[in-house]
Amino acid sequence: MNLRQQKTMETKRKILTTAIKLFNEKGFSHVTVDEIIEKTSTSKGAFYNHFKSKHDIFLEKFKEIDHFYVNEILPKLKPLKTAEAKLKYFLYLEMEYIEKDLGWDVTRTIYEQELNTERESFFLDENRPLYHILKKIFEEGQKNGEFRQDLTSERLVVMLSRVIRGFLYDWSIKKGSFSLVDEHIELFNIVIEGLMKR
């Protein structure tokens, strides 16, 4: 890496860390791009050279969630015996991570961004680890007769994803005023019962 590339990367890093720090302090909507470039002694040109938009910085952070799925959650699921147990533990860890590490304002901002038709969607990317993990769990559960087999595992993932989104959306508009960890079981158990074979 030559000098120029080093400077470029340094600029990007500076903007990214400063922006995320400010977002955490004051909330996404109360931080302006002008403030970010002023605090980092850079410029509009630099900012938009590195990020497609103000929202884009957020995505950068949110994408970490997928590392979390693969690195933190997946290993913990291995020892569990039933697909149902895996699914429930997965959901628990996901909710815990979102509630404790991401927080509702980040979540809200992502959900808002996804509704913006001009920008590319993160949720619609079918290669997200989230979907792969869920699909694997459902396949396993269908094979051993735990889950219903009249729907494909893909459809089961779609159904569950919609419920998860509804739950997180509700949490977002309610500004994190209830606990994901505490309340998720009530909702997900209802859905999981509907997904099980009987």
Partner DNA sequence: AAATATAATAGACTATAGTCTCTGAGATTA
Partner DNA sequence: TAATCTCAGAGACTATAGTCTATTATATTT
Rule CB under 8 A: say whether 16 interacts with its own copies: no
Which of 45, 10, 40 has its CA nearest to residue 22? Answer: 40
Instruction: Residue 187: name its binding partner from its own copies, DNA, none (Cβ under 5 to 8 Å by kind).
Output: its own copies
Give the residue, chosen from 12, 61, 128, 132, that forms a contact with DNA under the rule CB under 7 A.
Answer: 12
Q: Least distance from C-beta 175 to its own copies, angstroms?
A: 7
- The two tokens of residue 8 are 């470029």
Give the residue, chosen from 98, 106, 134, 192, that forms a contact with its own copies under the rule CB under 8 A.
Answer: 192
| Residue numbers 148-167 binding its own copies by CB under 8 A | 151, 155, 159, 161-167
Give the residue, chosen from 13, 17, 43, 149, that forms a contact with DNA under the rule CB under 7 A.
Answer: 43
- The two tokens of residue 125 are 């990317």
Question: Burial of 138 by CB count in 10 Å (0-12 exposed, 13-18 middle, 19+ buried)?
Answer: buried
Cα 120 from chain centroid (whole Å): 15
Q: What is the DSSP string of 72-131?
A: IIHHHHTT--SHHHHHHHHHHHHHHHIIIII-HHHHHHHHHHHT-TTSPPSTT-TT-HHH
In the complex with DNA, which residue's Cβ is closer, 37 or 195? 37
* Binding positions for its own copies, rule: CB under 8 A: 29, 108, 111-112, 114-118, 121, 123-124, 151, 155, 159, 161-167, 169-170, 172-175, 186-187, 189-195, 198
